[in-house]
Amino acid sequence: MTAARMLSISKLGKSFGSLVVTDKLDLELGAGEALGIIGPNGAGKTTLMNLISGAIVPDTGAIRFDGRDITTDSPQRRCRAGIARTFQIPHPFGNLSVFENLLVAAAYGSGKREAEVVEACGSILDMTGLLSRANRRAETLTLLERKRLELARALATEPRLLLLDEIAGGLTEAECALLVETVRAIRTRGTAIIWIEHIVQALLAVVDRLVVLNFGRKIAEGEPRAVMSSAEVREIYLGIAA
Amino acid sequence: MQWVDTIIQGILLGGLYALYATGLSLMFGIMKLVNLAHGDLIVLAAFVIVVLASLLPPGSGVVLALLLSLPIMFGVGYGLQVGFLNRTLDRDILPPLIVTFGFSIIIQNGLLEVFSADSRRLPLTGWESASLSVASGISIGTVPLVCFASAVVVIAGLNFLIYRTAIGRAFRATSDDPETAQLMGIDHRRLFAIAAGIAMMVCAVAALYLGLRANFDPTIGPARLLYAFEAVIVGGLGSLWGTLIGGMIIGVAQTVGAQINPEWQILTGHLAFLVILVVRPRGLFPKSEG
């Protein structure tokens, strides 16, 4: 165990009735590392996000963050500890303006006063291309803008670990390229990232390590390109006979 | 002139109904909780003010008693939310209804036990019985006027809190999506408790004017709840200024009805409510959502 290990998941298990969605999963993440997770639909990717962010509590196993056991911590405590997530389907606070969405996340996520976070919120809006939408009600945004807001709001909480759930889905190639640039920029600030994505090219452009999940189990892990070329992954994930 | 007077009295009465309704509207808006004990909590606040006024030196006035009752009622709201109501949320719409209905019965019977069924009134110390003569045939009582002004100040204050402060943004974010709000570091249960505390402080303000304008006894809570509901629905959910207008409409309907025939006062209020429900089922000033 090195001190640089930020997130440590051991023997994590979760079932919904007889359906096992996370099966004795072990996962480690170093500070500032970017990890990609792929897997077919129903592999338990989003459940893993929910377990890490605290929306659901595991049946077995433990999650440690910065060496502290957070397995039973509430989502709001995990947020303040430095974990933020985005949803595949954006969940904006629809009746708040775009800027207020960030402001409330920044003030409560970091425990600072609003006056101290206004500037940071402005620069996050700039970085995510939402500055011109700052005063619009969030429910009036387009899908792409909502996805950006999802990312911007997560960043506003000043996370040290950012969980991205299929943020590239539904975007055009050009939009996707912009998004990859944004995620790279986030990495340079030292934020660790776990990114679930179906668009493998986007992942490969950013992550240091790739994990493949299937039926709640880790079936491959390692250097992204090596993992993608392994026979098992090609067969199970891509459906190509080896 | 008589009709002008009637309508002015109705509008001012609407201020009282808006005060009844604002706390109800606040709790529903933020935590989607329909508080069936709301009227009884207003009556409870009135008794708190009575007790405080009796403990204060004679002549110090009911306003001081009100100010002292505010932190007490905040504590009542905070405590009820943390102790009971937070446990009823997240599941179904039925548990909060049953629990608050239970509170309604407990508060009524508790007050009957302690204070008996005698009807009471807050002690008047001077200004409360004064009135202004505006024109011949029109005189406006100080209490109804101050009551209406209080409703405007309370609603303006709450709107400032909700739309211009950090905690207000958190209230609105939690109202939109409580799960996501938690992921942003918001402790929604604590926030709900603060909202309930604020709602009970508004109840205390309403209780002051309830006790100054008319007699009250432990059993009148449910009727206050009904007027509050009507004001909220007429005004449209989610708009506190709409609630004020809703209260004014119910108030004017009642005084006009009473002018035609004193037995019609309550009836015409309810009729106005039913007519608006038929014509504008979502109220006069609904929020765009839903």
The pLDDT tens digits for B8-44 are 999 999 999 999 999 999 999 999 899 999 999 999 9
Cα angle: A106, vertex B173, A153; to 5 degrees:
35
At A238, the pLDDT band (50, 70, 90 cuts) reads low
Q: How far is A84 from chain B (nearest CA, A)?
A: 7
The pLDDT tens digits for B261-283 are 999 999 999 999 999 999 999 99
**For residues B28 and B289, what is the distance between their CA atoms, to the nearest angstrom?**
15
Q: For residue A199, is pLDDT > 50?
A: yes
- Which residues of chain A lie closer than 8 angstroms to B179, CB-CB? 55, 75, 91
Q: For residue A141, is pLDDT > 50?
A: yes
Q: How far is A100 from chain B (nearest CA, A)?
A: 7
Mean pLDDT, rounded, for A122-143: 94
- Which residues of chain A lie closer than 8 angstroms to B172, CB-CB? 93, 95-96, 100
The pLDDT tens digits for B69-125 are 999 999 999 999 999 999 998 778 899 999 999 999 999 999 999 999 999 988 876
Q: Which residue among B166, B177, B188 places its CB closest to the CB of A93?
A: B177
**For residues A79 and A84, what is the distance between their CA atoms, to the nearest angstrom?**
6
Cα separations (Å) of A91 from A96, B133, B183, B235? 12, 56, 11, 29
User: Residue A19: exposed, middle, or buried by beta-carbon count in 10 A (0-12, 13-18, 19+)?
Assistant: exposed
Residue of A nearest to B162 (CA): A96
**Where do we find the tokens 């005698």?**
B118
Question: Residue A86 in contact with residue A71, Cβ under 8 Å?
Answer: no
What are the domain boundaries of chain A? 5-82+159-236, 94-150
Which residues 174-193 on chain B approach chain A with CB closer than 8 angstroms?
175-177, 179-188
**For residues A41 and A45, what is the distance between their CA atoms, to the nearest angstrom?**
8
The residue type found at A173 is: E
Q: How far is A91 from chain B (nearest CA, A)?
A: 7
Task: Kindly report which listed range (A16-20, A72-76, B44-48, B230-234) carries the lowest average pLDDT score.
Answer: A16-20
Non-local (6+) Cβ contacts of B59 within 8 A are B125
Mean pLDDT, rounded, for A195-217: 91
pLDDT the model gives residue B129: 75
- Which residues of chain B lie closer than 8 angstroms to A94, CB-CB? 176, 289
**For residues B252 and B249, what is the distance between their CA atoms, to the nearest angstrom?**
5
What are the domain boundaries of chain B? 2-219
ipTM: 0.87
Please, what is the average pLDDT of chain A?
Answer: 91
CB atoms within 10 A of CB B64: 15
* A16: β partners: A19
**For residues B224 and B21, what is the distance between their CA atoms, to the nearest angstrom?**
9
Q: How far is B245 from chain A (nearest CA, A)?
A: 23
Token duo for residue A61: 């196993």
Dihedrals phi, psi of B139, to nearest 5 degrees? -130, 135
- Which residues of chain B lie closer than 8 angstroms to A80, CB-CB? 185
pLDDT the model gives residue B197: 98
Q: Which residue among B170, B179, B182 places its CB closest to the CB of A104?
A: B170
The pLDDT tens digits for A158-198 are 999 999 999 988 888 888 998 899 999 999 989 999 999 98
At A240, the pLDDT band (50, 70, 90 cuts) reads low
Task: Return the CATH number of A5-82+159-236, one of 3.40.50.300, 3.40.50.720, 3.90.25.10, 3.10.20.740.
Answer: 3.40.50.300
pLDDT the model gives residue B60: 78
Q: How far is A232 from chain B (nearest CA, A)?
A: 36
**For residues A219 and A212, what is the distance between their CA atoms, to the nearest angstrom?**
6
Q: Which residue among A76, A80, A104 places its CB closest to the CB of B173?
A: A104
- Which residues of chain B lie closer than 8 angstroms to A110, CB-CB? 185
Mean pLDDT, rounded, for A110-120: 91
pLDDT the model gives residue B289: 45
Residue of A nearest to B180 (CA): A91
Residue of B nearest to A111 (CA): B185
pLDDT the model gives residue B58: 79
b/e burial code for range A201-227 (CB count within 10 A of at least 16 → b): ebbbbbbebbbbbbbbebbbbeebeeb
Contact B176 A103 (CB under 8 A): no
Q: Is A55 on the interface with B (CB under 8 A)?
A: yes
Question: Residue A217 in contact with residue A25, Cβ under 8 Å?
Answer: yes
pTM for the complete prediction?
0.90
User: Residue A30: exposed, middle, or buried by beta-carbon count in 10 A (0-12, 13-18, 19+)?
Assistant: middle
Which residues 191-220 on chain A approach chain B with CB closer than 8 angstroms?
none
Residue of B nearest to A152 (CA): B184
Which residues 117-136 on chain B approach chain A with CB closer than 8 angstroms?
none
Q: Which residue among B176, B181, B186 places its CB closest to the CB of A95?
A: B176
* A37: β partners: A196, A211
Non-local (6+) Cβ contacts of B262 within 8 A are none
Cα angle: A217, vertex A218, A219; to 5 degrees:
105
The pLDDT tens digits for B159-202 are 999 999 999 999 999 999 999 999 999 999 999 999 999 999 99
Question: Residue A77 in contact with residue A83, Cβ under 8 Å?
Answer: no
User: Where is B226: in which H helix or E strand?
Assistant: helix B221-235
**For residues A80 and B65, what is the distance between their CA atoms, to the nearest angstrom?**
41
